[in-house]
Amino acid sequence: MPPGTESELTQGYGPPTVRQFSVFLDNRVGKLLDLVQLFEDAPEVSLRAFSVLDSSDHAVVRLIFDNADAARHLMRRKQFTFSETDLLVVELAVACREASMTKFTLKHVCMFLLAAELNIRFAYPVLHAREGNPMIALAVDDNTLAGQILRRKGFRLLGEEDLV
């Protein structure tokens, strides 16, 4: 049965998700380097996306890896404080000008989710490109519904195994 059919939607399709770690750091010189260096020195895990939210006394660093279990183990061993959540990773395409070509741009992601009244809480780019196409990590109100909608519209959703 092709993706996005009515039967799939009624059977509770669960989209592939990736695990995001939100690491809480004191806002001191060198703390981000310490965190990034931890993963640079670990051959079993690679950083695939990150975003930094800064305030005067602390920072929250959002991270996605190609091996969440290994990343979790390393951060626990080094006693970093973190939380975890699941995100969608959506493959985009470079905007094309030809009307006959299907477009899978960020604008379309926003339009389709808006039509379903789904909020994008935050988003950031993924450093790793798949087949030359950019990817974006999305935190939305409802991963399942957003995943169903985006798949029906032809977007490719990626899981952790696709980030290797």
pLDDT in tens, the chain (164 residues): 445 444 444 455 789 999 999 999 988 888 999 999 999 999 999 999 999 998 878 999 999 999 999 999 999 999 999 999 999 999 998 655 555 556 688 999 999 999 999 999 999 999 977 778 899 999 999 999 999 999 999 999 999 999 88
Residue type, 46: S
For position 90, what pLDDT does the model report? 96
User: Are 79 and 121 within one domain?
Assistant: no
Q: Tell which of 62, 86, 110 closes a domain.
A: 86
Predicted TM-score of the model (pTM): 0.83
User: Measured between alpha carbons, how far is 153 from 155 in angstroms, rounded to an integer?
Assistant: 6
For position 12, what pLDDT does the model report? 59
Residue 1 forms part of a structural domain: no
For position 7, what pLDDT does the model report? 45
CB atoms within 10 A of CB 80: 18
User: Are 111 and 91 within one domain?
Assistant: yes
For position 28, what pLDDT does the model report? 86
Domain count, the chain: 2
Do the strands 18-26 and 156-158 form a parallel or antiparallel pair, or are they unpaired? unpaired
Q: Domain range holding 122?
A: 6-17+87-163
Q: Tell which of 48, 63, 86 closes a domain.
A: 86
